[in-house]
Amino acid sequence: MRSARTRIAAAALTPLLIFTAACEFGSDGDKKADKVDKVDNKGGESAPTSIAPPPSSVAPGSSADTRVPTSAGPVAGKALTSAQLKAALVTQNELGKGWTVTPGDGAAYGSSPMKTVEVACQPLLDVMTGAGPKAAANAGETLATAADKGTTTRLDLVRYDGDAFAKTLDAAVLIASKHDCLEVVATNVKGERTAYRFDVGEHQPQFGDGSLWLDVTWGDEKTMADPDAPTMTSRLQFVRVGSVLVRFDSRPENTSFGAEYIPDAQVKTQADKVAAALKG
């Protein structure tokens, strides 16, 4: 089922997804992948955005709860290695009928450094790109489903030491809940500018120790200013389970339709598997 929220464009772009390596949202394109037992430690900054959560009177954590959740929670558990994270990735059988899993190269999600003019917006783009806190271990794979053949999803498991990433996610969630940073321009180390438009997902389930569903559309400033220009929108899902980030990045094959979020059942399966691995 295609998303009606994404602008339909007549022209199709060359597929943006190259999931043999972690993808960037900036002007530099896709970064090179590291091996499974190595982590790409490029730092980086970027721009965030958010939409205020809809008012809700339902019980927290219920199936009807669509509020933007907080990311408050402990950073605890076993210090998983890249090999252990790889073992904690969901399998094709665990995802269910119609799903296909392609092993990844273990590249950590992240991007080249980017800086926003609006300093207060930085955490949101840092979470989006993986810039900021240094990853200690990582693993990844590519997911596809027969229910949405035009979308490919990169799944990353990334472990961080300390609570730096947890605080970054907290800050991003807070920005989203305040309806701040909806449109931001960021600059990379070469001075190249990229425009970002953010939208907090209408559905905000609560998983792990903190979670955030986020849409991001990006391009050069001229393209982004033209409502008729074809643009690509990625649907991002972040779940923090202790010291491990579970990240889904779903993108369409072209601009003629929109990607869909990974369903809650499959997200929960992955989050639960990470939680079990952390407990040892």
pLDDT tens string 119-175? 899 999 899 988 878 899 999 999 999 998 889 999 999 999 999 999 999 999 999
- pLDDT (0 to 100) of residue 106: 67
DSSP assignment letter at 129: H
Nearest to 185 by CA among 47, 50, 51, 43: 47
CA atoms within 13 A on the CB side of 89: 27
Greater confidence, 58 or 27?
27
**Cβ contacts of 5 within 8 Å, gap of 6 or more:** 199, 215, 258
Position 26 confidence tier, pLDDT thresholds 50, 70, 90: low
- Whether the predicted pLDDT of 254 surpasses 90: no
Lowest mean pLDDT of 19-23, 124-128, 231-235, 266-270, name the range.
Answer: 19-23
Higher-pLDDT residue of 269, 4:
269
Q: Tokens at residue 166, please?
A: 């947890």
Cβ proximity of 238 and 245 under 8 Å: yes
Q: What is the mean pLDDT of residues 194-202?
A: 88
- The pLDDT tens digits for 75-110 are 667 899 999 999 999 999 999 999 999 998 767 687
What are φ and ψ of residue 267, in 5° steps?
Answer: -65, -45
Residue 207: is its pLDDT beyond 90? Answer: yes
Per-chain mean pLDDT for the chain: 77
Highest mean pLDDT among 53-62, 177-186, 204-213: 204-213
Least confident piece of the model among 60-64, 159-163, 214-218 = 60-64
Nearest-angstrom CA–CA distance, 51 and 74: 26
Alpha-carbon distance of 73 to 18, in angstroms, equals: 33
Q: Is the pLDDT of residue 29 over 70?
A: no
Q: Are 157 and 246 in contact (CB under 8 A)?
A: yes
The CA distance from 33 to 213, in Å, is 25
Average pLDDT value for residue range 115-119: 86
3-state secondary structure 186-210: EEECCCCEEEEEEEECCCCCCCCCE
Q: Does domain 82-279 have CATH number 3.40.1000?
A: yes
At residue 76, the pLDDT reads 67
The predicted pLDDT at position 202 comes to 77
Q: What is the mean pLDDT of residues 185-189?
A: 91
Residue 61 pLDDT > 50: no
For residues 128 and 45, give the distance between their C-alpha atoms in angstroms, rounded to a whole number.
10
Return left, alpha or beta for 59; rule: phi > 0 is left, psi -120 to 50 is alpha, else beta: beta
User: Strand 99-103's sheet: what is its strand order?
Assistant: 99-103, 135-145, 148-160, 244-252, 232-241, 210-219, 193-200, 183-188, 114-116
Residues 226-239 have a mean pLDDT of: 90
> How many CB atoms neighbour CB 269 within 10 A?
16
Model pTM?
0.77
- What tokens were used for 235? 């649907």
Pairwise CA distance, residues 53 & 66, whole Å = 8
Helical ranges in 76-157 per DSSP H: 82-88, 92-95, 122-129
Answer with the residue of higher pLDDT: 56 or 142: 142
The string of DSSP codes covering 170-188 is HHHHHHHHTT--SEEEEEE
